[in-house]
Structure 1
Amino acid sequence: MEQAATALSFGGKQLRFKHHSTVLNCEMHFSLFLPPQATAGSVPLLTWLSGLTCTDENFVQKACAQRAAAEYGVAILAPDTSPRGECIADDPDGGWDLGLGAGFYVNATQAPWAEHYQMYDYVLEELPSLVAKEHSVDLSRQGIFGHSMGGHGALSIALKNPSRFRSVSAFAPICAPLHCSWGEKAFSAYLGADRSLWAQYDSCELIRRSTERLPLLVDQGSGDSFLETQLKTPLLASACKDSDYPSTIRMHDGYDHSYFFIASFMDEHIAFHAQHCAG
Protein backbone atom coordinates (compact mmCIF):
# COMPACT_ATOMS: atom_id res chain seq x y z
CA MET A 1 0.00 0.00 0.00
CA GLU A 2 1.09 3.55 -0.71
CA GLN A 3 -0.37 6.31 1.44
CA ALA A 4 -1.87 8.99 -0.77
CA ALA A 5 -3.37 11.36 1.81
CA THR A 6 -3.80 11.85 5.55
CA ALA A 7 -5.73 14.29 7.72
CA LEU A 8 -6.47 14.48 11.43
CA SER A 9 -10.15 14.32 12.32
CA PHE A 10 -11.73 14.19 15.80
CA GLY A 11 -8.51 12.83 17.25
CA GLY A 12 -8.28 10.06 14.67
CA LYS A 13 -6.76 9.84 11.20
CA GLN A 14 -8.53 9.96 7.85
CA LEU A 15 -6.25 8.12 5.46
CA ARG A 16 -6.26 7.34 1.74
CA PHE A 17 -4.20 4.62 0.08
CA LYS A 18 -3.55 3.21 -3.34
CA HIS A 19 -2.49 -0.34 -4.06
CA HIS A 20 -2.43 -2.96 -6.77
CA SER A 21 -5.38 -5.31 -6.39
CA THR A 22 -4.65 -8.90 -7.36
CA VAL A 23 -8.37 -9.67 -7.40
CA LEU A 24 -9.32 -6.75 -9.65
CA ASN A 25 -6.06 -6.77 -11.63
CA CYS A 26 -5.65 -3.00 -11.49
CA GLU A 27 -4.60 -0.15 -9.23
CA MET A 28 -7.19 0.89 -6.66
CA HIS A 29 -7.71 3.63 -4.08
CA PHE A 30 -9.49 3.21 -0.77
CA SER A 31 -10.08 5.37 2.31
CA LEU A 32 -9.71 4.37 5.96
CA PHE A 33 -10.65 6.24 9.11
CA LEU A 34 -8.78 5.12 12.22
CA PRO A 35 -10.26 6.37 15.51
CA PRO A 36 -7.94 7.53 18.30
CA GLN A 37 -8.55 4.22 20.14
CA ALA A 38 -6.61 2.41 17.39
CA THR A 39 -3.35 3.70 18.85
CA ALA A 40 -3.96 1.60 21.97
CA GLY A 41 -5.24 -1.63 20.41
CA SER A 42 -7.38 -3.21 17.73
CA VAL A 43 -10.80 -1.74 16.97
CA PRO A 44 -13.91 -3.03 15.13
CA LEU A 45 -13.97 -2.53 11.37
CA LEU A 46 -16.99 -1.14 9.54
CA THR A 47 -16.95 -1.32 5.75
CA TRP A 48 -18.90 1.36 3.89
CA LEU A 49 -20.01 0.71 0.29
CA SER A 50 -20.93 3.74 -1.78
CA GLY A 51 -23.46 4.13 -4.58
CA LEU A 52 -23.47 4.64 -8.34
CA THR A 53 -20.93 7.14 -9.72
CA CYS A 54 -19.15 7.48 -6.35
CA THR A 55 -15.53 6.87 -5.43
CA ASP A 56 -14.09 6.12 -2.00
CA GLU A 57 -13.94 9.86 -1.28
CA ASN A 58 -17.65 10.75 -1.43
CA PHE A 59 -18.35 9.10 1.91
CA VAL A 60 -15.26 10.58 3.54
CA GLN A 61 -16.17 14.13 2.55
CA LYS A 62 -19.96 14.12 2.85
CA ALA A 63 -21.22 11.55 5.37
CA CYS A 64 -20.05 13.28 8.57
CA ALA A 65 -19.01 9.89 9.94
CA GLN A 66 -15.67 10.65 11.61
CA ARG A 67 -17.05 12.23 14.79
CA ALA A 68 -19.22 9.24 15.73
CA ALA A 69 -16.57 6.75 14.61
CA ALA A 70 -14.09 8.45 16.95
CA GLU A 71 -16.62 8.50 19.79
CA TYR A 72 -17.45 4.81 19.49
CA GLY A 73 -13.94 3.69 18.60
CA VAL A 74 -14.59 2.04 15.24
CA ALA A 75 -12.58 2.13 12.02
CA ILE A 76 -14.37 2.75 8.73
CA LEU A 77 -13.07 1.29 5.47
CA ALA A 78 -14.41 2.83 2.26
CA PRO A 79 -13.52 1.01 -0.98
CA ASP A 80 -14.02 2.43 -4.44
CA THR A 81 -17.16 1.37 -6.31
CA SER A 82 -15.49 -0.38 -9.26
CA PRO A 83 -12.13 -1.24 -10.78
CA ARG A 84 -10.43 1.77 -12.40
CA GLY A 85 -8.00 2.44 -15.23
CA GLU A 86 -7.72 3.05 -18.96
CA CYS A 87 -7.86 -0.67 -19.75
CA ILE A 88 -10.98 -1.31 -17.63
CA ALA A 89 -14.22 -2.07 -19.48
CA ASP A 90 -16.91 0.62 -19.30
CA ASP A 91 -20.46 1.02 -20.54
CA PRO A 92 -20.17 1.19 -24.35
CA ASP A 93 -23.17 3.52 -24.41
CA GLY A 94 -21.60 5.91 -21.91
CA GLY A 95 -24.15 5.27 -19.17
CA TRP A 96 -23.42 5.92 -15.52
CA ASP A 97 -25.21 2.81 -14.23
CA LEU A 98 -22.80 0.23 -15.69
CA GLY A 99 -19.02 -0.04 -15.73
CA LEU A 100 -16.79 2.52 -14.04
CA GLY A 101 -18.36 3.64 -10.76
CA ALA A 102 -21.00 0.92 -11.02
CA GLY A 103 -19.44 -2.40 -10.04
CA PHE A 104 -22.55 -3.54 -8.10
CA TYR A 105 -20.36 -5.58 -5.72
CA VAL A 106 -20.69 -8.82 -7.69
CA ASN A 107 -18.16 -11.18 -9.25
CA ALA A 108 -18.69 -10.77 -12.98
CA THR A 109 -18.72 -13.94 -15.08
CA GLN A 110 -19.18 -12.43 -18.55
CA ALA A 111 -16.69 -10.89 -20.98
CA PRO A 112 -15.33 -8.25 -20.99
CA TRP A 113 -16.28 -7.61 -17.35
CA ALA A 114 -14.94 -10.79 -15.73
CA GLU A 115 -11.30 -9.79 -16.18
CA HIS A 116 -11.57 -6.97 -13.62
CA TYR A 117 -15.07 -6.70 -12.13
CA GLN A 118 -14.68 -8.97 -9.08
CA MET A 119 -15.89 -6.47 -6.51
CA TYR A 120 -17.54 -9.08 -4.27
CA ASP A 121 -14.24 -10.84 -3.60
CA TYR A 122 -12.39 -7.55 -3.32
CA VAL A 123 -14.69 -6.21 -0.61
CA LEU A 124 -15.17 -9.46 1.27
CA GLU A 125 -11.68 -10.94 1.10
CA GLU A 126 -8.78 -8.99 -0.36
CA LEU A 127 -9.22 -5.47 0.98
CA PRO A 128 -10.04 -6.14 4.67
CA SER A 129 -7.21 -8.67 4.86
CA LEU A 130 -4.81 -6.13 3.38
CA VAL A 131 -5.89 -3.46 5.85
CA ALA A 132 -5.68 -5.81 8.83
CA LYS A 133 -2.05 -6.61 8.03
CA GLU A 134 -1.07 -2.96 8.34
CA HIS A 135 -3.50 -1.46 10.85
CA SER A 136 -5.09 -2.25 14.22
CA VAL A 137 -8.47 -3.52 13.05
CA ASP A 138 -10.19 -6.65 14.33
CA LEU A 139 -11.69 -8.76 11.54
CA SER A 140 -13.62 -10.80 14.11
CA ARG A 141 -15.66 -7.67 14.85
CA GLN A 142 -16.93 -6.49 11.48
CA GLY A 143 -20.02 -4.61 10.37
CA ILE A 144 -20.96 -3.51 6.87
CA PHE A 145 -23.19 -0.71 5.58
CA GLY A 146 -23.78 1.32 2.44
CA HIS A 147 -25.98 3.52 0.29
CA SER A 148 -28.08 2.76 -2.79
CA MET A 149 -25.97 0.39 -4.94
CA GLY A 150 -23.71 0.15 -1.89
CA GLY A 151 -26.70 -0.64 0.30
CA HIS A 152 -27.44 -3.52 -2.05
CA GLY A 153 -23.81 -4.58 -1.75
CA ALA A 154 -23.79 -4.40 2.04
CA LEU A 155 -27.02 -6.36 2.43
CA SER A 156 -26.16 -9.04 -0.11
CA ILE A 157 -22.58 -9.56 1.12
CA ALA A 158 -23.67 -9.77 4.77
CA LEU A 159 -26.61 -12.04 4.06
CA LYS A 160 -24.36 -14.40 2.09
CA ASN A 161 -21.72 -14.37 4.83
CA PRO A 162 -23.46 -14.03 8.22
CA SER A 163 -20.54 -15.58 10.10
CA ARG A 164 -18.21 -12.82 8.88
CA PHE A 165 -20.26 -9.86 10.12
CA ARG A 166 -21.97 -8.91 13.35
CA SER A 167 -24.34 -6.32 11.85
CA VAL A 168 -25.53 -4.82 8.56
CA SER A 169 -27.29 -1.59 7.69
CA ALA A 170 -28.16 0.46 4.63
CA PHE A 171 -29.39 3.83 3.47
CA ALA A 172 -31.87 3.71 0.56
CA PRO A 173 -30.58 0.36 -0.73
CA ILE A 174 -31.43 -1.23 -4.05
CA CYS A 175 -33.42 -3.94 -2.31
CA ALA A 176 -34.50 -6.11 -5.25
CA PRO A 177 -32.13 -5.77 -8.23
CA LEU A 178 -34.03 -8.62 -9.93
CA HIS A 179 -36.96 -6.22 -10.25
CA CYS A 180 -35.51 -2.84 -11.24
CA SER A 181 -33.85 -1.48 -14.37
CA TRP A 182 -30.56 -0.68 -12.63
CA GLY A 183 -30.21 -4.27 -11.47
CA GLU A 184 -31.42 -5.81 -14.71
CA LYS A 185 -28.92 -3.81 -16.78
CA ALA A 186 -25.97 -4.51 -14.49
CA PHE A 187 -26.73 -8.16 -13.76
CA SER A 188 -27.41 -9.07 -17.39
CA ALA A 189 -24.04 -7.55 -18.35
CA TYR A 190 -21.97 -8.88 -15.46
CA LEU A 191 -23.69 -12.25 -14.86
CA GLY A 192 -25.41 -13.15 -18.13
CA ALA A 193 -28.98 -14.18 -18.87
CA ASP A 194 -29.45 -16.79 -16.11
CA ARG A 195 -31.61 -15.03 -13.53
CA SER A 196 -30.94 -17.76 -10.99
CA LEU A 197 -27.39 -16.37 -10.80
CA TRP A 198 -28.82 -12.90 -10.27
CA ALA A 199 -30.85 -14.18 -7.32
CA GLN A 200 -27.59 -14.97 -5.50
CA TYR A 201 -27.06 -11.21 -5.14
CA ASP A 202 -30.67 -10.12 -4.57
CA SER A 203 -31.28 -9.12 -0.93
CA CYS A 204 -34.95 -10.07 -0.92
CA GLU A 205 -34.17 -13.53 -2.28
CA LEU A 206 -31.32 -13.95 0.19
CA ILE A 207 -33.60 -13.00 3.09
CA ARG A 208 -36.05 -15.70 2.04
CA ARG A 209 -33.27 -18.31 1.90
CA SER A 210 -31.50 -17.25 5.07
CA THR A 211 -31.14 -19.68 7.95
CA GLU A 212 -29.07 -17.32 10.13
CA ARG A 213 -29.96 -13.88 11.44
CA LEU A 214 -27.96 -10.66 11.61
CA PRO A 215 -29.02 -7.37 13.20
CA LEU A 216 -30.37 -5.39 10.22
CA LEU A 217 -31.19 -1.68 9.99
CA VAL A 218 -32.46 0.17 6.89
CA ASP A 219 -33.31 3.86 6.54
CA GLN A 220 -35.24 5.18 3.55
CA GLY A 221 -36.50 8.65 2.68
CA SER A 222 -40.10 9.05 1.49
CA GLY A 223 -38.99 11.89 -0.79
CA ASP A 224 -36.47 9.71 -2.63
CA SER A 225 -37.18 9.93 -6.37
CA PHE A 226 -35.82 6.40 -6.88
CA LEU A 227 -37.92 4.73 -4.19
CA GLU A 228 -40.68 3.25 -6.35
CA THR A 229 -38.77 2.58 -9.57
CA GLN A 230 -35.35 1.36 -8.40
CA LEU A 231 -35.08 0.81 -4.65
CA LYS A 232 -38.24 -1.19 -3.90
CA THR A 233 -38.02 -0.92 -0.10
CA PRO A 234 -41.51 -2.42 0.43
CA LEU A 235 -40.29 -5.65 -1.19
CA LEU A 236 -37.54 -5.91 1.43
CA ALA A 237 -40.02 -5.27 4.23
CA SER A 238 -42.30 -7.98 2.86
CA ALA A 239 -39.43 -10.46 2.53
CA CYS A 240 -38.40 -9.85 6.14
CA LYS A 241 -41.98 -10.24 7.36
CA ASP A 242 -42.63 -13.39 5.34
CA SER A 243 -39.37 -14.95 6.52
CA ASP A 244 -39.68 -13.81 10.12
CA TYR A 245 -36.34 -12.05 9.72
CA PRO A 246 -35.87 -9.49 12.51
CA SER A 247 -35.20 -6.08 11.02
CA THR A 248 -35.69 -2.38 11.57
CA ILE A 249 -36.81 -0.64 8.38
CA ARG A 250 -37.55 3.05 8.92
CA MET A 251 -39.24 5.47 6.52
CA HIS A 252 -38.30 9.14 7.02
CA ASP A 253 -40.78 11.69 5.75
CA GLY A 254 -39.47 14.00 3.03
CA TYR A 255 -35.83 12.88 2.93
CA ASP A 256 -34.28 12.32 -0.50
CA HIS A 257 -31.48 10.13 -1.90
CA SER A 258 -28.60 12.47 -1.15
CA TYR A 259 -25.79 12.60 1.38
CA PHE A 260 -27.85 15.18 3.30
CA PHE A 261 -30.11 12.23 4.16
CA ILE A 262 -27.16 9.94 4.94
CA ALA A 263 -25.45 12.47 7.19
CA SER A 264 -28.70 13.04 9.11
CA PHE A 265 -28.76 9.45 10.41
CA MET A 266 -25.10 8.42 10.18
CA ASP A 267 -24.52 8.70 13.93
CA GLU A 268 -27.34 6.24 14.58
CA HIS A 269 -25.94 3.72 12.12
CA ILE A 270 -22.46 3.89 13.62
CA ALA A 271 -23.94 3.50 17.13
CA PHE A 272 -25.94 0.49 15.87
CA HIS A 273 -22.83 -1.22 14.54
CA ALA A 274 -20.71 -0.27 17.55
CA GLN A 275 -23.25 -1.90 19.84
CA HIS A 276 -23.11 -5.20 17.98
CA CYS A 277 -19.37 -5.16 17.22
CA ALA A 278 -18.25 -4.36 20.77
CA GLY A 279 -16.36 -6.88 22.87
Structure 2
Amino acid sequence: MLELNSITRSFGERRVLHDVSFSVARGRMTGFVGGNGAGKTTTMRVMMGVLTPDSGTVTLDGQPISKDARTRFGYMPEERGLYPKMKVAEQITYLGRLHGLSTERAKANTDGLLERLGLGERANDAVESLSLGNQQRAQIAAALVHEPSVLILDEPFSGLDPIAVEVVLNVLKDYASQGAPVLFSSHQLDIVERLCDDLVVIADGSIRASGSREGLRAEHSGNRYELQVDGDLGWLRDEPGVEVAEFDGGYAVFDADSADTAQRVLRLAMAAGPVKNFTPQHPSLSQIFKEVIQ
Protein backbone atom coordinates (compact mmCIF):
# COMPACT_ATOMS: atom_id res chain seq x y z
CA MET A 1 0.00 0.00 0.00
CA LEU A 2 1.20 3.49 -0.89
CA GLU A 3 0.42 5.97 1.90
CA LEU A 4 0.68 9.71 2.32
CA ASN A 5 0.70 10.91 5.91
CA SER A 6 0.13 14.59 6.82
CA ILE A 7 1.93 16.01 3.77
CA THR A 8 2.33 19.78 3.66
CA ARG A 9 4.13 21.76 0.98
CA SER A 10 4.55 25.48 0.35
CA PHE A 11 6.06 27.53 -2.44
CA GLY A 12 7.31 30.68 -0.76
CA GLU A 13 4.46 32.12 1.27
CA ARG A 14 1.82 30.10 -0.55
CA ARG A 15 0.86 26.80 1.04
CA VAL A 16 -0.14 24.38 -1.70
CA LEU A 17 -0.75 21.19 0.30
CA HIS A 18 -2.34 21.15 3.76
CA ASP A 19 -2.02 17.97 5.86
CA VAL A 20 -2.69 15.66 2.90
CA SER A 21 -3.28 12.04 3.93
CA PHE A 22 -4.67 9.14 1.91
CA SER A 23 -3.71 5.65 0.74
CA VAL A 24 -3.55 3.81 -2.57
CA ALA A 25 -4.21 0.11 -2.07
CA ARG A 26 -2.49 -2.64 -3.99
CA GLY A 27 -4.54 -4.18 -6.75
CA ARG A 28 -6.96 -1.25 -6.94
CA MET A 29 -7.46 1.71 -9.25
CA THR A 30 -7.65 4.97 -7.29
CA GLY A 31 -9.03 8.08 -8.98
CA PHE A 32 -7.57 11.41 -7.82
CA VAL A 33 -9.84 14.32 -8.69
CA GLY A 34 -9.85 18.06 -8.13
CA GLY A 35 -10.09 21.31 -10.03
CA ASN A 36 -7.21 23.22 -11.59
CA GLY A 37 -4.78 24.31 -8.90
CA ALA A 38 -6.26 21.95 -6.31
CA GLY A 39 -2.89 20.28 -5.61
CA LYS A 40 -3.07 17.05 -7.62
CA THR A 41 0.16 17.46 -9.59
CA THR A 42 2.11 18.73 -6.57
CA THR A 43 0.92 15.71 -4.56
CA MET A 44 2.02 13.34 -7.31
CA ARG A 45 5.42 14.99 -7.55
CA VAL A 46 5.87 14.55 -3.81
CA MET A 47 4.95 10.88 -4.16
CA MET A 48 7.56 10.51 -6.89
CA GLY A 49 10.24 12.30 -4.88
CA VAL A 50 10.46 15.10 -7.43
CA LEU A 51 9.40 17.51 -4.66
CA THR A 52 10.28 17.22 -0.97
CA PRO A 53 7.41 17.88 1.46
CA ASP A 54 7.83 20.49 4.16
CA SER A 55 6.44 17.90 6.58
CA GLY A 56 4.82 14.48 6.45
CA THR A 57 5.86 11.15 4.97
CA VAL A 58 5.24 8.95 1.95
CA THR A 59 5.58 5.22 2.61
CA LEU A 60 5.21 1.99 0.65
CA ASP A 61 4.00 -1.02 2.63
CA GLY A 62 4.82 0.89 5.82
CA GLN A 63 8.42 1.68 4.89
CA PRO A 64 10.05 4.95 3.77
CA ILE A 65 10.61 4.97 0.01
CA SER A 66 14.26 4.84 -1.00
CA LYS A 67 15.68 6.27 -4.21
CA ASP A 68 16.11 2.74 -5.57
CA ALA A 69 12.49 1.86 -4.76
CA ARG A 70 11.27 4.89 -6.69
CA THR A 71 13.01 3.62 -9.84
CA ARG A 72 10.32 0.92 -9.76
CA PHE A 73 7.58 3.55 -9.96
CA GLY A 74 5.88 4.25 -13.24
CA TYR A 75 5.09 7.94 -13.65
CA MET A 76 3.28 9.75 -16.41
CA PRO A 77 3.33 13.55 -16.13
CA GLU A 78 0.51 15.65 -17.51
CA GLU A 79 2.97 17.40 -19.84
CA ARG A 80 4.21 15.09 -22.58
CA GLY A 81 7.93 14.49 -22.10
CA LEU A 82 8.96 12.31 -25.04
CA TYR A 83 11.56 13.40 -27.56
CA PRO A 84 9.51 14.50 -30.59
CA LYS A 85 11.99 13.52 -33.32
CA MET A 86 12.88 10.11 -31.90
CA LYS A 87 11.15 6.97 -33.19
CA VAL A 88 8.45 5.65 -30.87
CA ALA A 89 9.80 2.13 -30.26
CA GLU A 90 13.40 3.31 -30.08
CA GLN A 91 12.48 5.83 -27.40
CA ILE A 92 10.39 3.45 -25.27
CA THR A 93 13.15 0.83 -25.42
CA TYR A 94 15.70 3.45 -24.41
CA LEU A 95 13.62 4.42 -21.37
CA GLY A 96 13.37 0.75 -20.38
CA ARG A 97 17.16 0.49 -20.56
CA LEU A 98 17.51 3.58 -18.36
CA HIS A 99 15.48 1.74 -15.71
CA GLY A 100 17.91 -1.17 -15.76
CA LEU A 101 16.27 -3.61 -18.19
CA SER A 102 18.40 -5.57 -20.61
CA THR A 103 18.14 -4.52 -24.26
CA GLU A 104 16.23 -7.70 -25.08
CA ARG A 105 13.78 -7.28 -22.20
CA ALA A 106 13.24 -3.59 -22.92
CA LYS A 107 12.61 -4.29 -26.61
CA ALA A 108 10.21 -7.16 -25.85
CA ASN A 109 8.27 -5.04 -23.36
CA THR A 110 8.15 -2.16 -25.85
CA ASP A 111 6.85 -4.34 -28.66
CA GLY A 112 4.18 -5.87 -26.43
CA LEU A 113 3.00 -2.54 -25.04
CA LEU A 114 2.84 -0.83 -28.41
CA GLU A 115 0.75 -3.69 -29.80
CA ARG A 116 -1.62 -3.62 -26.83
CA LEU A 117 -1.95 0.16 -27.02
CA GLY A 118 -2.67 0.09 -30.76
CA LEU A 119 0.66 1.63 -31.81
CA GLY A 120 2.31 -1.41 -33.33
CA GLU A 121 2.12 -0.02 -36.85
CA ARG A 122 3.56 3.33 -35.71
CA ALA A 123 6.55 1.88 -33.85
CA ASN A 124 9.09 3.27 -36.34
CA ASP A 125 7.44 6.68 -36.74
CA ALA A 126 8.72 9.81 -35.03
CA VAL A 127 6.71 10.85 -31.98
CA GLU A 128 5.98 14.26 -33.53
CA SER A 129 4.21 12.57 -36.44
CA LEU A 130 1.61 10.98 -34.15
CA SER A 131 -1.76 12.47 -33.33
CA LEU A 132 -2.13 13.88 -29.82
CA GLY A 133 -4.12 10.82 -28.79
CA ASN A 134 -1.43 8.46 -30.05
CA GLN A 135 1.26 10.54 -28.35
CA GLN A 136 -0.70 10.00 -25.15
CA ARG A 137 -0.64 6.24 -25.72
CA ALA A 138 3.12 6.37 -26.30
CA GLN A 139 3.53 8.32 -23.06
CA ILE A 140 1.63 5.59 -21.22
CA ALA A 141 3.89 2.95 -22.77
CA ALA A 142 6.88 4.94 -21.48
CA ALA A 143 5.47 4.80 -17.94
CA LEU A 144 4.92 1.03 -18.13
CA VAL A 145 7.89 -0.33 -20.07
CA HIS A 146 10.07 -1.07 -17.02
CA GLU A 147 7.37 -3.23 -15.33
CA PRO A 148 6.71 -0.79 -12.47
CA SER A 149 5.47 -1.92 -9.08
CA VAL A 150 3.57 1.38 -8.54
CA LEU A 151 1.77 3.50 -11.14
CA ILE A 152 1.16 7.24 -10.79
CA LEU A 153 -0.50 8.76 -13.83
CA ASP A 154 -1.42 12.42 -14.29
CA GLU A 155 -4.37 12.79 -16.71
CA PRO A 156 -3.72 9.51 -18.61
CA PHE A 157 -7.04 9.69 -20.49
CA SER A 158 -6.63 13.25 -21.75
CA GLY A 159 -7.11 13.45 -25.51
CA LEU A 160 -8.21 9.82 -25.88
CA ASP A 161 -11.35 8.80 -27.74
CA PRO A 162 -13.73 6.28 -26.09
CA ILE A 163 -12.13 3.28 -27.83
CA ALA A 164 -8.65 4.37 -26.76
CA VAL A 165 -9.89 4.85 -23.19
CA GLU A 166 -11.01 1.21 -23.13
CA VAL A 167 -7.67 0.05 -24.53
CA VAL A 168 -5.68 1.98 -21.92
CA LEU A 169 -8.04 0.92 -19.15
CA ASN A 170 -7.51 -2.78 -19.91
CA VAL A 171 -3.75 -2.33 -19.77
CA LEU A 172 -3.93 -0.48 -16.43
CA LYS A 173 -6.33 -3.04 -14.97
CA ASP A 174 -3.79 -5.76 -15.77
CA TYR A 175 -1.16 -3.93 -13.73
CA ALA A 176 -3.57 -3.45 -10.85
CA SER A 177 -4.55 -7.13 -10.96
CA GLN A 178 -0.89 -8.03 -10.50
CA GLY A 179 -0.92 -6.14 -7.20
CA ALA A 180 0.33 -2.71 -8.19
CA PRO A 181 -1.17 0.37 -6.52
CA VAL A 182 -2.51 2.53 -9.38
CA LEU A 183 -3.28 6.23 -8.87
CA PHE A 184 -4.53 8.36 -11.74
CA SER A 185 -5.80 11.91 -11.85
CA SER A 186 -8.44 13.13 -14.26
CA HIS A 187 -10.79 16.03 -14.87
CA GLN A 188 -13.17 13.63 -16.63
CA LEU A 189 -15.37 12.66 -13.68
CA ASP A 190 -17.56 10.34 -15.73
CA ILE A 191 -14.51 8.28 -16.71
CA VAL A 192 -13.19 8.22 -13.14
CA GLU A 193 -16.56 7.10 -11.79
CA ARG A 194 -16.71 4.23 -14.26
CA LEU A 195 -13.10 3.07 -13.95
CA CYS A 196 -11.91 3.49 -10.39
CA ASP A 197 -12.29 1.34 -7.29
CA ASP A 198 -11.43 4.14 -4.87
CA LEU A 199 -11.66 7.93 -4.96
CA VAL A 200 -9.70 10.82 -3.45
CA VAL A 201 -11.08 14.36 -3.81
CA ILE A 202 -8.76 17.32 -3.23
CA ALA A 203 -9.60 21.04 -3.17
CA ASP A 204 -7.46 24.00 -2.11
CA GLY A 205 -4.67 21.62 -1.15
CA SER A 206 -6.75 19.62 1.33
CA ILE A 207 -8.34 16.19 1.04
CA ARG A 208 -12.11 16.63 1.14
CA ALA A 209 -13.18 13.00 0.67
CA SER A 210 -11.57 9.58 0.21
CA GLY A 211 -12.75 6.00 0.19
CA SER A 212 -14.22 3.34 -2.03
CA ARG A 213 -16.45 4.53 -4.87
CA GLU A 214 -19.53 2.77 -3.52
CA GLY A 215 -18.75 3.75 0.05
CA LEU A 216 -18.59 7.44 -0.85
CA ARG A 217 -21.80 7.20 -2.87
CA ALA A 218 -23.58 5.61 0.09
CA GLU A 219 -22.11 8.14 2.52
CA HIS A 220 -23.36 11.08 0.46
CA SER A 221 -26.62 9.56 -0.74
CA GLY A 222 -28.86 11.24 1.85
CA ASN A 223 -32.51 10.18 1.70
CA ARG A 224 -33.46 10.55 -1.97
CA TYR A 225 -35.68 7.87 -3.50
CA GLU A 226 -37.15 6.93 -6.84
CA LEU A 227 -40.75 5.68 -6.86
CA GLN A 228 -42.79 4.35 -9.75
CA VAL A 229 -46.36 3.02 -9.53
CA ASP A 230 -49.23 2.08 -11.85
CA GLY A 231 -51.43 4.92 -10.63
CA ASP A 232 -50.91 8.60 -9.89
CA LEU A 233 -48.53 9.99 -7.28
CA GLY A 234 -50.12 13.40 -6.90
CA TRP A 235 -50.77 12.70 -3.22
CA LEU A 236 -47.01 12.54 -2.59
CA ARG A 237 -46.69 16.35 -2.71
CA ASP A 238 -48.86 16.63 0.42
CA GLU A 239 -46.99 14.10 2.53
CA PRO A 240 -45.22 15.61 5.58
CA GLY A 241 -41.44 15.28 5.53
CA VAL A 242 -41.36 14.83 1.75
CA GLU A 243 -39.99 17.15 -0.91
CA VAL A 244 -40.65 16.09 -4.51
CA ALA A 245 -37.69 16.69 -6.84
CA GLU A 246 -39.13 15.14 -10.03
CA PHE A 247 -42.71 14.23 -10.90
CA ASP A 248 -44.44 12.67 -13.90
CA GLY A 249 -47.78 11.03 -13.08
CA GLY A 250 -46.86 7.64 -11.69
CA TYR A 251 -43.16 8.43 -11.40
CA ALA A 252 -41.45 10.59 -8.77
CA VAL A 253 -38.08 11.30 -7.24
CA PHE A 254 -38.36 12.66 -3.71
CA ASP A 255 -36.30 13.59 -0.67
CA ALA A 256 -37.44 12.27 2.69
CA ASP A 257 -36.50 13.81 6.03
CA SER A 258 -35.81 10.32 7.43
CA ALA A 259 -35.75 6.65 6.50
CA ASP A 260 -39.01 6.21 8.45
CA THR A 261 -40.70 8.79 6.24
CA ALA A 262 -39.52 6.95 3.13
CA GLN A 263 -40.92 3.68 4.44
CA ARG A 264 -44.23 5.37 5.21
CA VAL A 265 -44.40 6.61 1.61
CA LEU A 266 -43.72 3.08 0.37
CA ARG A 267 -46.52 1.64 2.54
CA LEU A 268 -48.96 4.26 1.26
CA ALA A 269 -47.98 3.57 -2.34
CA MET A 270 -48.43 -0.19 -1.88
CA ALA A 271 -51.81 0.35 -0.27
CA ALA A 272 -52.88 2.39 -3.32
CA GLY A 273 -51.83 -0.19 -5.91
CA PRO A 274 -48.88 -2.07 -7.47
CA VAL A 275 -45.42 -0.52 -6.97
CA LYS A 276 -43.14 -1.00 -9.97
CA ASN A 277 -40.00 0.44 -8.44
CA PHE A 278 -38.80 1.89 -5.15
CA THR A 279 -35.06 2.46 -4.82
CA PRO A 280 -32.71 4.85 -3.02
CA GLN A 281 -30.82 7.12 -5.37
CA HIS A 282 -27.04 7.36 -5.02
CA PRO A 283 -25.31 10.54 -6.16
CA SER A 284 -22.90 10.63 -9.09
CA LEU A 285 -19.24 11.44 -8.56
CA SER A 286 -19.93 14.86 -10.05
CA GLN A 287 -22.57 15.53 -7.39
CA ILE A 288 -20.30 14.31 -4.58
CA PHE A 289 -17.47 16.44 -5.93
CA LYS A 290 -19.60 19.57 -5.95
CA GLU A 291 -20.85 18.84 -2.43
CA VAL A 292 -17.46 18.26 -0.78
CA ILE A 293 -15.56 21.17 -2.36
CA GLN A 294 -18.13 23.79 -1.29
What's the TM-score bracket when you normalise by the shorter of the two chains?
under 0.3
Larger radius of gyration: 2
- Normalising by structure 2, we get a TM-score of 0.25
- Normalising by structure 1, we get a TM-score of 0.26
Which is bigger in relative contact order (C-alpha 8 A, separation at least 6)? 2
